[in-house]
Amino acid sequence: MEISLKGKNALVGGSSKGIGEAIARQLAESGANVTIMARSETRLKKLTDEMDSSQGQKHQYLTVDFTNFDAYKAKISEFFSSNTVDILVNNTQGPEGGGALEKNVEDYQNAFDLLFKSVVFTTELALKHMQENKWGRIINIASISVKEPLNYLALSNTIRAAVVTWAKSLAYDVAKDGITVNSTLTGYFDTDRIAQLNSKKAEKLGISPSEVRSNMEEQVPVKRIGDPKEYGYLVTFLASDKAAFITGTNIPIDGGLLKSL
């Protein structure tokens, strides 16, 4: 099966590294014009130059800080004043780890701005063109923790659950316009985020980060953690015409880690 996204414009959040970078690269390889956005202009510039443009695409980047919602709101509004998007990948960095007793109301508000408000606002801006064009793909990068909460990720568990339930409601409302809305539930992937969390967990447990990683790999039925490229394949499929009948879903990509249905 060949997937072509030629002529489609994609916007990918949190895409200077890790899962976001892998998604951006795969969308570009499949022919899309890709706009990447994150905080590090140096990384964004480098990735823009490296992304596949063999099908005549034009890629660009947008420097944004998801942790400052007001500044982000202004920057993304300016982008949409002169750009349209057919494929929107809602992805940001995760909030700080920690259990429920370690977090206060302000922490939850900050996480809400980071993970929920930015997603809803960006989607609202992207939808106008999608509805006029009768075609669109909205893909939210979430986590398996919305199904099986991880006690050391209280903020992420809570707010990402709100994102996927909002997405389910939105999917129903825009399906008639040829727009699909899906959420991917992230398991363990080989990223800087996992390395940082493992380092903190190792310190707390008094063991080495490599031992934490080994324990993590042992939990996954396929006995390894994921390659971000594999994530890019899934998102690219969901962004294509081949996935037109898939909407309102939460799709785990976790090597079989989830035990629940």
User: What is the per-residue pLDDT across 96-140, written as a single tens digit (0 to 9) for each?
Assistant: 889 999 999 999 999 999 999 999 999 999 999 999 999 999 999
Nearest Cα to Cα of residue 38 among 56, 53, 24: 24
Rounded alpha-carbon distances, angstroms, from residue 17 to 13, 27, 183: 10, 15, 20
- From 3.40.50.740, 3.30.200.20, 3.80.30.20, 3.40.50.720, which CATH number describes the 9-187+227-250 domain? 3.40.50.720
Rounded alpha-carbon distances, angstroms, from residue 247 to 75, 211, 239, 250: 29, 39, 11, 9
pLDDT score recorded for residue 196: 84
Helical (H) or strand (E) element with 62:
strand 60-63
pLDDT score recorded for residue 94: 87
Mean pLDDT by 10 residues, the chain (261 residues): 96 96 98 97 97 97 97 98 98 91 96 97 98 98 95 94 98 98 97 85 89 94 97 98 98 96 83
pLDDT score recorded for residue 16: 95
pLDDT score recorded for residue 168: 98
pLDDT score recorded for residue 224: 97
Show me where the domains of the chain are located: 9-187+227-250, 188-225
User: What is the per-residue pLDDT across 224-251, written as a single tens digit (0 to 9) for each?
Assistant: 999 999 999 999 999 999 999 999 999 9
pLDDT score recorded for residue 192: 86
Structural contact between residues 184 and 142, judged by C-beta atoms closer than 8 angstroms: yes
HEC sequence for 81-124: CCCCCCEEEECCCCCCCECHHHCCHHHHHHHHHHHHHHHHHHHH
